[in-house]
Structure 1
Amino acid sequence: MNILLIGSGGREHALGWALANSSLVTAIYAAPGNAGIADVATLADLDVSDHAAVIAFCKEKAIDYVIVGPEVPLVDGIVDDLSAAGIKAFGPSKAAAQLEGSKAFTKGVCDDANIPTAAYGRFTERDAALAYVKAQGAPIVIKADGLAAGKGVVVAMTEKEALDAVEDCFNGQFGSAGAEVVVEEFLTGEEASFFVLVDGTHCLPLATAQDHKRAFDGDEGPNTGGMGAYSPAPVMTDEITERTMKEIIEPAVAEMARRGIPFKGVLFAGLMISEAGPKLIEFNTRFGDPECQVLMMRLKDDLLPLLMASTDGTLDKISARWHDEVALTVVMAAEGYPGSYQKGTEIRGLETAGTEDGVQIFHAGTKASDGKILANGGRVLNVTARGKTVREARDRAYAAIAKIDWPEGFCRSDIAWRALARDA
């Protein structure tokens, strides 16, 4: 089969790496890809927001299946347009992708399906939102309704911080994404990431993971797109996993079908686990980044049939097996991220670092130029390792990082601290 992989981050490199090991794959193209993805796919200089151009490319290259990595093309309806052109694609329709594209939409689904989630208010008027924040007090969570590149959520620990976040939304900091604001109760507990393949009716749970959103050690600093992850997440016990399926995933899938917009693709539930059980923080409609990297390192089976079963409605006839080992990834980011940062700095030592036992380096924001690898984004590398224990996987990842020569980069030094604390 000829595959087109859409995206340019570490998630897409991990998906491409897994697909390259599939006996069903003849050729992989990636649009636009990055310097690391070029090792497993032919890069295509395509504007993925131009759906007509993507369709023309698929016809020219006899693409059998398109796998959409990021959320923006999904919310923009690329799967609908590909399907209308007779091209099979992995991911939800534009209507179903509202589960990520609109936090207010998701809250409505939670209300109708009785899904446990944070108490909230929805606002299209600044003064009403400010009054709600003052009435509720802090800590509290402010969310721009739409997509904001992972930066539209503020966990405000003070009332002033919350009021400033509301002002930012209505002042246009997040563009149209902030035209509506969701203000949520601050949930306490331990966060986890839970992934399920869905074919509109059937659900196939995948491995669990835990992400690290804050920029700096000790979960300090601003929220980011994710600074590291590991799998499995110890907090996701068999009991919590079963409750998540019964109380959150299955009701959401049933409600989407009831609304006439069945969900197909991967449903990513961001969860808060407390003594009372799991609560939904948010839904995403694609693989997490960097969680996808650790999932692909643990997946035993061929990825392609799993994805195709989601598209074809046959998930009840397939299963997924996982390595017992722990997988862990550390994100190396450009200094200044998630704020302003410099592009074009050279990264050395990647080949040497990649020889560490059990290590795979996924590129997230890189480009090749004159034989050099240059940083080309905020999150730049995902140094990923597998090991028999969390500590072994972590030691391998950081040993590889020590061999990377990139003075303009930084990473957290405490990835998986919660899991290590459990073992102490």
Structure 2
Amino acid sequence: MKILVVGKGGREHALITALAESATETELYCFPGSDAISDLAKPVDVDGLHSLISWMKDNAVDLCVAGEESYLVKDEGLANLCEEAGIPCWGPHRQSAQLEASKEFAKEFMQRHNIPTGGATGCANIEEARAAINGVYPTVLKFDGLAAGKGVAVCPDEASAEEFLQEVLVERKFGAGRLLVEECLVGPEVSIFAAVCDDGYQIFTPARDYKRIFENDEGPNTGGMGAVSSLQLISQEELATIEETIVKPTVAGLNKDNLPYRGFIYFGLMMTADGPKIIEYNCRFGDPECQAVMPLVQGDLAQFCFQAAKGDLDKNILSFDDGWSVCLILASAGYPATSRSGDVISGLENVENARVYHAGTRKNADDQWETNGGRVLAVVAGGSERLEAVDAAYEQLNKITFDGAQKRTDIGRTNF
């Protein structure tokens, strides 16, 4: 089976690894890929989506897997273009991917289908945003479009809110777009992932990620400094409530609104005193949650995605390990405000009994791995108990070094 995965980060490295380990014999390709991904999948040298579609047709690709969110809404949309070309795509249509691309679209969808969420007001400019906040803190501010996981700020006071408003609505840090002023929900966060195929779905192992750069969830937001995943993360009763009040009505709402959906969907949830409420959707696997979840997936992921992309969701193909998986991120100097490239990475060859997924790395002229981005790599280890998995992951992470490396030391230890 010929499979092409679209994306270049740690999430795609984890997906491609799982596809390569599937029982189905696969021939893997990537676009745009990375030096690390190229060890598993052949990079495709094209200059955009239309050229990529032509290449897939010419090379009889059986399945396209959308990893990175931007391609789902770029141009006419990756899945839309694949459908026109007769190529099964595991990823939603452009109009459906607005659930992630527009926070305001998603909020209106939740409200329309009575899915539990916080109240919110859409704003076009800084004056409207200030009026919507109306002196109520803490408040949550969200840029309406895609922002690589950095377009959300939980603001405890007027000063922090004003700083974010200036960045988003005056300096236009993330480009043109509206802003959502949202009620601040309180409680433990949980990430739920489901494979959705038309009116069917299968829920994967729950996860929890750590967004802040520093210990104890302090400092600026990042794309994610680590994650844990386990079927033990929440109770079966809680998961059943989430399925009944959030997952089911979301899938039903997509069908009612004629929003075609075949692909992964991420439900970012807050477990409030009033029950689970949804914070946001992502129309693909989370990052770094994907790196934590994938090692727990058992079965033939390649066959599962191939059949589901064609409209047949077979829940018997996959099962899930009931242990714990812990993902730890090493970030480069200056992250998240900036990132430094060119620092040589040492110790990768010493890692044992753990997975290393590359995100911001490249090979230099001396064939050494070096940093090439903000979040550099992830180390993932497992265990039957949470702290066993935490200790195993940190033991291996501590073998890897580079100048300016940043890491948190409390992943998997706090927020429980």
Is the counterpart of residue 389 in structure 1 residue 388 in structure 2?
no
- Partner of 1:409: helix, strand, or coil? coil
Q: Once structures 1 and 2 are overlaid, which stretch shifts more, 51-60 or 338-347? A: 51-60
Tell me the amino acid that sits aligned with residue 69 of structure 1.
Answer: G
- Partner of 1:94: helix, strand, or coil? coil
Contact 2:68 2:284 in 1 (8 A): yes
Query: Residues 265-317 of structure 1: CA distance to partner in whole angstroms, max 9, x if unpaired?
Result: 11100000023210000000000111111111111111112222432222255
- Partner of 2:205: helix, strand, or coil? strand
Tell me the amino acid that sits aligned with residue 60 of structure 2.
Answer: A
Which of 291, 294, 297 is equivalent to 1:293? 291
Contact 1:272 1:281 in 2 (8 A): yes
What are the residue-to-residue correspondences of 1:17-32 with 2, within 5 Å? 17-32=17-32
Tell me the equivalent position of 2:79: 79
Is the counterpart of residue 362 in structure 1 residue 344 in structure 2?
no
Which of 271, 278, 281 is equivalent to 2:279? 281
Aligned length: 413
Tell me the amino acid that sits aligned with residue 137 of structure 1.
Answer: V
| CA distance in 2: counterparts of 1:172 and 1:92, whole angstroms | 32
| CA distance in 1: counterparts of 2:129 and 2:390, whole angstroms | 43
- Partner of 1:193: helix, strand, or coil? strand
Is the counterpart of residue 327 in structure 1 residue 322 in structure 2?
no
Which of 405, 412, 416 is equivalent to 1:416? 412
| CA distance in 1: counterparts of 2:171 and 2:255, whole angstroms | 34
What are the residue-to-residue correspondences of 1:111-126 with 2, within 5 Å? 111-126=111-126
Tell me the equivalent position of 1:67: 65
Q: What is the deviation of 1:136?
A: 4.5
Tell me the equivalent position of 2:14: 14
Q: What is the deviation of 1:126?
A: 2.4
Structure 1 pair 213–4 and aligned structure 2 pair: CA distance change class (3 A): same
- Partner of 2:318: helix, strand, or coil? coil
Tell me the equivalent position of 1:188: 186
Tell me the amino acid that sits aligned with residue 238 of structure 1.
Answer: Q
Tell me the equivalent position of 1:265: 263
| CA distance in 2: counterparts of 1:294 and 1:156, whole angstroms | 28
What are the residue-to-residue correspondences of 1:56-205 with 2, within 5 Å? 56-76=54-74, 77-133=77-133, 135-177=134-176, 179-205=177-203
Q: What is the deviation of 1:164?
A: 2.5
| CA distance in 2: counterparts of 1:316 and 1:89, whole angstroms | 16
Q: What is the deviation of 1:16?
A: 0.8
TM-score (norm 1): 0.94
Percent identity (aligned): 38
| CA distance in 2: counterparts of 1:403 and 1:163, whole angstroms | 41
Contact 1:204 1:319 in 2 (8 A): no
Query: Residues 43-84 of structure 1: CA distance to partner in whole angstroms, max 9, x if unpaired?
Result: 23344xx11110122133321111110110012211111111
Tell me the amino acid that sits aligned with residue 282 of structure 2.
Answer: N
| CA distance in 2: counterparts of 1:405 and 1:164, whole angstroms | 34
Tell me the equivalent position of 2:204: 206
Structure 1: which 5+ residue stretches go unaligned?
none
Q: Once structures 1 and 2 are overlaid, which stretch shifts more, 231-240 or 403-412? A: 231-240
Query: Residues 145-170 of structure 1: CA distance to partner in whole angstroms, max 9, x if unpaired?
Result: 01112111111011221122223221
Contact 1:116 1:248 in 2 (8 A): yes
Contact 2:197 2:311 in 1 (8 A): yes
Structure 1 pair 316–360 and aligned structure 2 pair: CA distance change class (3 A): closer
| CA distance in 2: counterparts of 1:247 and 1:319, whole angstroms | 26
Tell me the equivalent position of 1:352: 350
Contact 2:231 2:323 in 1 (8 A): no
Tell me the amino acid that sits aligned with residue 143 of structure 1.
Answer: K
Contact 2:205 2:320 in 1 (8 A): yes
- Partner of 1:346: helix, strand, or coil? coil
Structure 2: which 5+ residue stretches go unaligned?
none
Tell me the amino acid that sits aligned with residue 395 of structure 2.
Answer: A
Q: What is the deviation of 1:418?
A: 3.1
Alignment root-mean-square deviation, CA: 1.6
Is the counterpart of residue 401 in structure 1 residue 400 in structure 2?
no
- Partner of 1:385: helix, strand, or coil? strand
Q: What is the deviation of 1:219?
A: 0.7
Query: Residues 190-211 of structure 1: CA distance to partner in whole angstroms, max 9, x if unpaired?
Result: 0010001111101111110010
Tell me the amino acid that sits aligned with residue 375 of structure 1.
Answer: T
- Partner of 2:330: helix, strand, or coil? strand
Contact 1:235 1:273 in 2 (8 A): no
Query: Residues 239-274 of structure 1: CA distance to partner in whole angstroms, max 9, x if unpaired?
Result: 111111111111111112111113221110000002
| CA distance in 1: counterparts of 2:296 and 2:31, whole angstroms | 25
- Partner of 1:186: helix, strand, or coil? coil
Q: Once structures 1 and 2 are overlaid, which stretch shifts more, 305-314 or 382-391? A: 305-314
What are the residue-to-residue correspondences of 1:223-242 with 2, within 5 Å? 223-232=221-230, 234-242=232-240
| CA distance in 1: counterparts of 2:279 and 2:272, whole angstroms | 12
Contact 1:210 1:233 in 2 (8 A): no
Is the counterpart of residue 45 in structure 1 residue 58 in structure 2?
no
